[in-house]
Each structure stands twice: as structure tokens, then as C-alpha cells.
Amino acid sequence: MTEVNGYYLEDLEIGQSASFGKTITEADVVMFAGVSGDINPIHINDDYAKKTMFHGRIAHGILTAGVLSAVIGTRLPGPGSIYLSQELKFKAPVRIGDTVQAKVTVNEILLEKKQVVLNCVCTVGKTTVIEGEAHIMVPHRP
């Protein structure tokens, strides 16, 4: 793998994995709200969020899932890979200041379709916050 080209399909193996960590900041949540238009007060209003079952603000689920995109687009399979689909199950909230560790693992290689199926997990400490599966198109050797 290079900075410009990720792994070729032929170089991937079942069980191969990569990860990336990111601490979710106040700026991340506010900017995501602005970019996405999701201004749900659970994310941006302290007074409102304190009265919810979470007892405080939480990060957008899709913002948290974006850390998976960072792994897929930069590490495994890396640059040149294309998202086809993503299934996500949100298991626990992520709060401002939490460090999300995203890990993807190759579960299946579909040579004829030039795709891989990745197991996707995000954790904060020992708590799983997201689980899912992604189908990714991967460049093949010329």
C-alpha cells in the first residue's frame, strides 16, 4: 500500500484488519450539525440533553460512524476503495471527549465482483458503540 494507492483486491486476506482512533470534540459535533443539517438538540443543547435518557449531549451516530470511513478510505482497503453499502447497529452513545477506536476486518473477498465484505466495530474503551458490515469495491491489479 502507498499513500496514493491502497491495497489491491489480490493483496487482501481474510482476517486482515486495520484501525483508526479519533477523539470526538465539541467542534466536531457543531461542524457536523452545520454540514449535515442535523441540529437535533440531543447533540447541541446542554439543557435539553440533560433531560433525556442520556443525561447529557451525545455525538451524532453518523459522525461516529465516519471514523469507520476513515479506516476504509485511508488504511484498509485504503485509497481507491469505494463504499457500496454499510449496515450499522448503534449500541451505545458517544460523548464529546470520547475517543472512538474504529476497526475493520476482512470477512469475505468476492473476487468476481471486485469487492470485500468488512466487519466494522467502533469502541470507546471496552464499550462497543457501533457494529456493522460494509461492502467495499476494491481496485484490482492492472
Of 138, 104, 110, give the one whose Cα is nearest residue 122.
104
- The structure's pTM equals 0.93
> How do the domains of the chain map onto residue ranges?
9-137
Cell numbers given for 101: 477506536
pLDDT tier at 141, thresholds 50, 70, 90: confident
Q: Which of 22, 137, 31 is nearest to 77 (CA)?
A: 137
CA separation for the pair 94, 62 (Å, rounded):
11
Query: How far apart are alpha carbons 107 and 88 in whole angstroms?
Result: 16
Within its chain, how far is the Cα of 87 from the centroid?
Answer: 11
Convert the pLDDT of each residue in 14-38 to its tens digit.
999 999 999 999 999 999 999 999 9
pLDDT digits (tens, 9 = 90+) for 89-125: 999 999 999 999 999 999 999 999 999 999 999 999 9
Residue 66: partners with Cβ closer than 8 Å, 6 or more residues away: none
Question: What is the CATH number that goes with domain 9-137?
Answer: 3.10.129.10
Characterize 45-62 residue by residue with b for buried, 16 or more Cβ atoms within 10 angstroms of its Cβ, and e for exposed: eeeebeeeeeeebbbbbe
